[in-house]
Amino acid sequence: MGGILLIIVACLFWGMDTLIRYPLVERGINPVTIVFFEHALLTLIFSLGLLGSLRRLGELTLAHFFSFFIIGGLGSAIGTVAFTESFKYLNPSLVILLQKLQPVVAIVLAALILREEIQKKFVIWAGICLVGGLLVSSPDIERLYHLLTTDLKTVTSDFAIKGYGFVAISIICWGATTVFGKYLSLAGYETKSIMAGRFLTGLLVLVPFVKWDQSLLLPTKEDYVRIIVMVIISGALAMWFYYQGLKRLPAKTTAIAEMFFPVFAVGVNWIFLGQGLTELQLVGSGILLFGSLVIQLKKY
């Protein structure tokens, strides 16, 4: 299976995640609590991956430790918490649009850290993919335009600036995760070992953010079941496909393919929640698919 297709499958599972995650947040469950339970369960599931890597402990360098901290502590933990916090300060449409800058961060870091060559043709096709991604978010652009023309203070206040800070943290963390995940793959780590290290590191970093009181308990047994289902779909399955794809692709190409996540998130809302797709969104999806396939086939 081609690397692009593997990343697309991962994005499909991430898109299904929204059916469970956001309803849990809307019911008042602390997002940090949700992310903590996710990492605890995923660490347990992939603990065997850690056992298989014990023989490599003597080979671990400071760069390896740092890479695991980036993908787990920053990418899985801090990035997710920051992204969730940003919704408290900014309009959701603005948060989603700003998140489209993540591939730019990943591509720049891939060039600086992994020394991946960024060809002129790649930049052109990456720009085409970005246009496709923006078209998928066209309803958010319309809502943002309305906000800018009716209530400009909402996006320029000191309160909003805090939100921009949280979004920036999440963009940098997630962009770096792609690059340092590729670094560990190039260093010879197996997918299960990378996933185990990611979730364990993320769990350890999350501990200080958790409120160790009654709020850590979920309201109903069904909520625990929902989190388990979410862990299997968007955690275990999605991340396995993601890292299998990352092994086969440059980090810069992976960053472009990750833009399929909002495509599938919109598609899931259409199928399960009855939120129809516009013509612009369908066109954007087609442009993104075509552009990303050209990048892989031409190996730009």
Asked if residues 251 and 182 have their Cβ atoms less than 8 Å apart, the reply is yes
Nearest-angstrom CA–CA distance, 39 and 206 = 9
pLDDT per position as a tens digit, 85-129 = 887 787 776 777 788 888 899 999 999 999 999 999 999 999 999
Residue 137: give the domain boundaries: 3-298
DSSP string, 77-109: IIHHHHHHHHTTTS-HHHHHHHGGGHHHHHHHH
Distance of CA 141 to CAs 18, 98, 132, 137, 147, Å? 20, 11, 13, 6, 10
* pLDDT tens-digit map of 54-71: 566 666 788 888 999 999
**Nearest C-alpha neighbor of 139 from the set 269, 8, 20:** 269
Query: What is the tens place of the pLDDT at every residue in 173-213?
Result: 999 999 999 999 998 888 888 888 899 999 999 998 888 87
For the chain, percent helix, then strand, then coil, each to nearest 5? Answer: 85, 0, 15
| Residue 114 to residue 250: CA distance in whole angstroms | 9
Rounded to 5°, the CA angle 115-80-158 comes to: 100
pTM of the predicted model as reported, rounded to 2 decimal places: 0.85
141: exposed, middle or buried (C-beta count within 10 Å: 0-12, 13-18, 19+)?
middle
Q: How many domains does the chain have?
A: 1
Residue 228 is predicted with a pLDDT of 92
**Cβ within 8 Å of residue 68, ≥6 positions away:** 184, 197, 198, 201
Give residue-wise pLDDT tens across range 257-300: 888 887 887 777 777 766 667 788 888 888 888 888 888 787 76
Could you give phi then psi for residue 2, rounded to 5 degrees? -65, 155
- Quote the CA–CA distance of 275 and 15 in Å, as a whole number: 14
pLDDT, mean of residues 205-227: 85
